[in-house]
Structure 1
Amino acid sequence: MKFLKNLKVKKLVQATRLHFGAVIKELKEGKKDNELWSQAEKLAGRNESLVVAKYLHLRAESIAKQ
């Protein structure tokens, strides 16, 4: 069990499909959180196709925490 103490555990995902659905609805309405979008761009690095996926995850988690 000693190895468990040194194991880095990722945060549990709190967002459900309902949260992701809410984010998709926001995007369809032209709404986005610019701060989270910038964070998603940084996380995606130079891969533009990952920006939306990262944003969806960040925003869904944000909604789930409210």
Structure 2
Amino acid sequence: MALIKIEGNDFPTIPIGNSDALKVGEWVLAVGNPFNLTSTVTAGIVSAKARSLGVYNGGVES
């Protein structure tokens, strides 16, 4: 994301969603910068909630 300043009033906004209200099966968008790859966007469907990854010998256990 970027923060820019422009002159004007009453611009439309996009509300930030509540991740606690998210349900399995809903469509989502993810915006990020993984591995310095700029402007990365992906779409998907929530398959589960409250999962965690375990750490095993300094790596991620799969």
What is the TM-score normalised by the length of structure 2?
0.23
What is the TM-score normalised by the length of structure 1?
0.22
Q: Larger C-alpha radius of gyration, 1 or 2?
A: 2
Tell which has more relative contact order, 1 or 2 (C-alpha 8 A, sep 6+): 1
Question: Which structure has greater strand proportion?
Answer: 2
Question: Which structure has greater helix proportion?
Answer: 1
